[in-house]
Amino acid sequence: MAFELIVVGGGRMGSALVEGLLRAKWCEPHDLAIVEAATEQRESLTARFSGVTILASLELGHVGPTTGVVLSVKPDHAEAALRVVATTGATRVLSVVAGLSTSRIESHFHAPVAVIRSMPNTPVLVGQGVSAISGGAQVTKDDLDWAESILGAVGIVVRVTERNIDAVTGLSGSGPAYFYLVVEALIDAGVHQGLTRDVSRQLVVGTFVGSAVLLESSGESPEELRAQVTSPGGTTAAGLRMLEGRAVRAAFLEAVSAATERSRQLGR
């Protein structure tokens, strides 16, 4: 039996996608299959996704002329998984595998294949991710729309040229870690000023989430929102002056630059 979509690799990323697709009613559960090599993980997927077919391996009959394949295995397993996908006659592949180029994926196939490469980030696990997509040599607008509809079930999607995927990796791929570092540092700062860790954590996480929602919903720029809490000669101005003195902006610029360069190196 051929499926509409087959997700190869039912780990954190693959299962987050399936959850988003079912929530968005992208298709019926019986249209979906997950291929997962690990027995224990298969059992957990079976319990979690009623009606979705959980397979130990991908076979010829699973892929029809219109079947799409999502590749969501760890980079170390990607080549082996692709060799199998290529033998099934799949014609459309969306990969979330970091560092794997569209041309590398295409090289496994002997017939034309539409390959879309993407870079999602961890908030896709809660349906609030950002993903960038870029198409390979044989991709049409329909293929990109298809990929966007899948990743759009777990967050927002932007289109970039493949050349920019490393920058996306260094910015939004690694981005959650930058924000978590800031959150950790602020919680410690609250403790330094005499707050309990628990109270400091509640205040910082609440400020972080609230500021993000305000930024997104108000339509105002970060500069405008920052100016609203910065009275002349006031407390925030004193704090910001210290951050600017420590070159925090330059530090973020260099962090994204280093992460982008590292992504380039890993992809080579």
Q: Is 8 in the site for ligand NAP (CB under 6 A)?
A: yes
Q: Are 2 and 30 in contact (CB under 8 A)?
A: no
- Position with the least CB separation from ligand NAP: 11
Q: How many CB atoms lie within 10 A of CB 41?
A: 17
Backbone angles phi, psi at 230, to 5 degrees: -115, 90
Kindly write out the interface string for residues 196-225 of this chain, putting x where it contacts ligand NAP by CB under 6 A and - elsewhere. Answer: ------------------------------
CA 212 to chain centre: 18
Q: Which is nearer to ligand NAP, 126 or 213 (CB)?
A: 126
The tokens 């991709």 sit on which residue?
Answer: 139
Q: How many helices (H) and strands (E) does the chain have?
A: 11, 8
Kindly list the distances between the CA atom of residue 179 and the CA atoms of 175, 188, 205, in Å, as whole numbers in the listed order: 7, 14, 11
Q: Is 72 in the site for ligand NAP (CB under 6 A)?
A: yes
Shortest approach of ligand NAP to residue 112 CB, angstroms?
Answer: 23
Q: Is 13 in the site for ligand NAP (CB under 6 A)?
A: yes
Beta-carbon-side half-sphere exposure of residue 12 (alpha carbons within 13 Å): 9
The closest alpha carbon to 71, from 36, 42, 25, belongs to 36
Q: Is 77 in the site for ligand NAP (CB under 6 A)?
A: yes
Q: Which stretch binds ligand NAP (CB under 6 A): 10-18, 146-154, 199-207, 246-254?
A: 10-18
Q: Are 181 and 255 in contact (CB under 8 A)?
A: no
Shortest approach of ligand NAP to residue 13 CB, angstroms?
Answer: 3
Q: Is 41 in the site for ligand NAP (CB under 6 A)?
A: yes
Q: Which stretch binds ligand NAP (CB under 6 A): 23-31, 71-79, 135-143, 253-261?
A: 71-79
Binding residues for ligand NAP (CB under 6 A): 8-14, 35-38, 41, 72-75, 77, 80-81, 96-98, 119-122, 173
